[in-house]
Amino acid sequence: MSRHVNDPYVKRAQAEGYRSRAAYKLLDLQRRDRLFRPGMRVADLGAAPGGWSQVAAELVGRNGCVLALDLLAMEPIDGVEILQCDFREESALAALRQLLGDEPLDLVLSDMAPNVSGMKAVDQPRSIYLVELAVEFACETLKPGGSLAVKVFHGEGFDDVLRTLRQRFEKVVSRKPDASRSVSREAYLVAKGLRVG
């Protein structure tokens, strides 16, 4: 609790109107990797409480669109379409496809993380499964040249994800934003330039 209260990113998020300190991780990725441009179509997977969606909506502007999905309910955000569902369910993918229509996406974001049990042997496969689903979704819905930024925890399965991304995208980098706690095993893989086919 005291770590949370004294965290400079928590204070900054409160002062600047972001719903979560996670917003600064995405802003850091944007500063380094230029993921967003005005007018883009973006999906934000694992979006609650909505810090990333707020940043995304600001950066794509009025001509863009952001589709946010989470298991949990989210307060509305201007310019963001919210879907409350479990990304592991086929019905969630069907709902997403329906909302997207025939227009491909420019950018897929995934900050999804399962509830942790504290047992690495259980938590790591659960989180890698969500990553694999996000990668599959990105490859299916992005336009050629599109980008993906996905949270992956270091551990079993990390290198396999990295290998898959390197096969499917032109450029892949691993990032540890300043706002990501050093004790956390999380990293963000930023994959740009989806290859055709």
- Asked if 151 is an active-site residue, the reply is yes
Binding-site ranges for ligand SAM (CB under 6 A): 19-20, 22-23, 46-52, 69-72, 86-88, 111-114, 130
Contact 66, 42 (CB under 8 A): yes
CB of 134 to ligand SAM, least distance (A): 10
Would you say the C-alpha torsion 136, 60, 112, 75 has a positive or negative sign? negative
The total of other beta-carbon atoms located within 10 Å of residue 138's CB is 26
Question: What is the smallest separation between the CB atom of 102 and ligand SAM, expressed in angstroms?
Answer: 24
Nearer to ligand SAM, 89 or 170 (CB): 89
Closer residue to ligand SAM (CB): 50 or 64: 50
Rg over CA atoms, the chain? 16
Q: Which of 11, 151, 171, 176 is catalytic?
A: 151
Residue among 3 and 196 whose Cβ is closer to ligand SAM: 3
Nearest-approach distance from CB 24 to ligand SAM, in angstroms: 9
Task: Give the nearest distance from C-beta 141 to ligand SAM in angstroms.
Answer: 16
Nearer to ligand SAM, 19 or 168 (CB): 19
CA nearest neighbour of 79 among 97, 95, 60? 60
- Cα-to-chain-centroid distance, residue 11: 22
Residue numbers annotated as active site: 151
